Structure 1
Amino acid sequence: MSRSTLVLLVAMITGFAVLCGLGTWQAKRLVWKEALLAKIEQRLAGEPRPLSQVVAMHEAGNDIEYIPVRLKGRFLHDREQHFFATHKGASGWYVYTPLELEAGSSNSLQIVFVNRGFVPYERKDPATRPDGQAAGTVEITGLARSAPGDKPSAVVPNNDLAKNIYYWKDLSNMSAQAGFKMSGSVLPLFVDAGETPNPGGLPVGGVTMIDLPNNHLQYAITWFGLALALLGVGGCFLYARLVNERKALGS
């Protein structure tokens, strides 16, 4: 076997190993994603839990994403924060309003930010939707959502605190802008309100998007297919090359 043929053989084996490794990784991701989707589906089908129970789970280090919750309190509408969003093709805002919890509903913690839902771009000012500013004690069912610790990606714009515009859910700054301190007074999570209609029709609740694409099987098949193609094409090529080398040596 010539030196160049040996190099080609090593390259083919390396490429085959890499492609198989990528296929195996995608297969493992497929198992993980299917388990995650099943977990979310099971949670969404469950009965709403008291907010205090979900808070205790969070403090114990457990995952709380998409757990149905129920809570009761009073909205502080004059402190609402606005997250830029799209809903059914329209640009606008998710309205994050601090809810002052009823005494005893979550031990020493008193405030939780609730994503009440979507309002059109031109209705950012609460004065344009007074009917939706529910007064007094309200009962809410929704989904618990984790608060990210940092901006999720460099491509996400920075929040414009001066204009009350958020591009990522920065709970610390939402709390500060609303006049609260995170330590002890604000729960370290969000609640996405459910689809219960608000007075006046705004905000439009139930806007939680659960869109977790699961293309890992397709990717795994692609990588393993490429590995087989490399094995077949490369094997035929090397075989023909070895035959030619033997003929050359015999002549």
Structure 2
Amino acid sequence: MNPCRPSIWRGTLNGYGPQAVTLLSTPLYSNTTLASFFPTVGLGGTVVLMTKFDVVEYLELAQKHRVTHSMMVPVQYQRLMAHPGFDSYDLSSFKRKFCTSAPFSAALKAEVLNRWPGGLVELYGMTEGGGTCMLAAHDFPHKLHTVGQPVPGNDVRIIDEKGNEVPQGGTGEVVGRSAAMMTEYHKQPQKTAEAEWYNRIGQRYIRTGDIGRFDEDGFLVLLDRKKDMIISGGFNRRCCTDARRRPVRLVGPDQNS
């Protein structure tokens, strides 16, 4: 399957096209970036790239180029909202803003909706491709505590510690499947097996490591992580076990110099 096709299809639903101007400030190798890059380029729009994220530069570029779309991680939204001059910039050209890769608080979503023109869409998923959920926050302002509903073509379920699927409203690990799932972790069969879950008819799902539940309307609420993990700038930094920790010596200026 061409990985660009679903991105372009979703792009038409989010206002991408020849008139779109997308401002990107995350690395091009990241799925976060590509989720907005592909539909922009595929539908004939313009991409404005930043070599490094800077709040003032971002706002100046957005105003100068009449940006319509942007994809960022939560910490970038947080820094933009905290800038004292944010409201002085003309951001009225925006149609959609996207966010993914880290927890996005309901309070921050609400602030973005209230102060920044255009819609706000949160995407929840994983690099391994085990199912994606989407929240159009502008359409569901009462669901900002969730990450939305599974997008078409994605199957997301909740399982307990024994690997049994839990009923609606039950809490457990989030697992998912899609047409874009990974085949395996390269030359790591044990890690691959640990990441897989199979339903009763043998369909393969990927474990996310997230704990969550579906509410009465089918929106996914994330509650916790099964394993410790640090997210920095939208990228995962997994904590090592005690056996792998090593002492670190910090070297700084000589106080006598």
TM-score w.r.t. structure 1 length?
Answer: 0.22
Q: What's the TM-score, normalizing by structure 2?
A: 0.22
Structure possessing the higher relative contact order (Cα contacts under 8 Å, 6 or more residues apart): 1
Higher helix share: 1
